[in-house]
Amino acid sequence: MGGPMVQRLLEAGYSVTGFNRTKAKAQWLLERGMKWGDSPRAVAEASDITLSMVTNTQALYAITEGRDGILTGLAQGKIFIDMSTVSPAASREVAAKVRAKAAAMLDAPVSGSAVTLKEGKLSFMVGGDRAAFERALPILQAIGPKVTHVGANGLAVSMKIATNLSLAVQMLAFSEGMLLAEKSGIPRPTAAEVLLNSVIASPMVKYRGPFVLQLPDEALFDVNMMQKDLLLALELGRELEVPLPTTAVTNEMLTSARAMGLAEKDFAILFEALARMAGVKTGLME
């Protein structure tokens, strides 16, 4: 999602300096006016506000720590915004190091997908200092129109984890209903039509439900990424003593999907994994 976010900032008139591990992947943005930084540190040194979006907690440490990390490039008054879904404790740890540089950090994960971003409907949840939030608000709104401050550092990441666990749980429940209908003798397209127009059709189900009929050419959010978020949820649940029974079951189904060689498919492939257990041939992998 990082590339299209940069594109929206450029279109809004912002000067953007960017870095990616593989420079060739950023070439299309360079052609549109983005400047190149040779490292995360270089980007932070060149920018008043630095934004990052990486895969996991380890990747957040990788871009912030060390000689070429973002922390080294920060100075008094600068803002670092991390949009990744990572451990809340790790996010707070990095925020403390940012404060030690007389700068401010915001955790600002997003709700939505690359499609939502393209449509201009992406939303942010933001944790951190209120004054820093107000300064960064116009930039975040240039990327997505809905931006909500949820509290202190780490709370936006917690909110994102609480949101994402429901995505996979809903997909599994939808798959169960679909397979129950199909094995009863109802054609899959008919069952999908009924469920997608019923009271259970949340925005997520309406968006991903059709994937039980035809998978997208490219995973919008794959099994590995979703399981990473569920493991973060389970870790947070243990820490806060909140039972997460449906999250735990769904996590095991994601493990089953990985064991079936489906790790790089969109997490809607939960339907395929469950169908194989039920003895149903979906035709989705042909």
What structural domains and CATH numbers belong to the chain? 2-153 (3.40.50.720), 158-277 (1.10.1040.10)
Q: What is the DSSP letter of 124?
A: E
Separation CA 16–CA 28 (nearest Å):
13
Residue of 46, 21, 18 whose CA lies nearest to 33? 18
Separation CA 180–CA 235 (nearest Å):
32
Q: Which amino acid makes up residue 143?
A: I
Q: Distance of alpha carbon 192 from its chain centroid, rounded?
A: 26
The single residue listed with the structure tokens 């968006």 is 207
Contact 198, 240 (CB under 8 A): no
Separation CA 170–CA 136 (nearest Å):
33
What would the pLDDT profile of 144-182 be if each residue is shown by its tens digit? Answer: 999 999 999 999 999 999 999 999 999 999 999 999 999
What would the pLDDT profile of 172-187 be if each residue is shown by its tens digit? Answer: 999 999 999 999 999 9
pLDDT greater than 80 at residue 281: yes
Tell me the mean pLDDT in the region 95-109.
Answer: 97
Contact 106, 80 (CB under 8 A): yes
The single residue listed with the structure tokens 């809607």 is 268
Q: Phi, psi (5° rounding) for residue 210?
A: -60, -15
Give pLDDT, residue 112: 80
Give pLDDT, residue 113: 77
Using alpha carbons, list the distances in angstroms from residue 47 to 38, 40, 133, 149.
13, 11, 16, 23
Whole-model pTM: value is 0.91
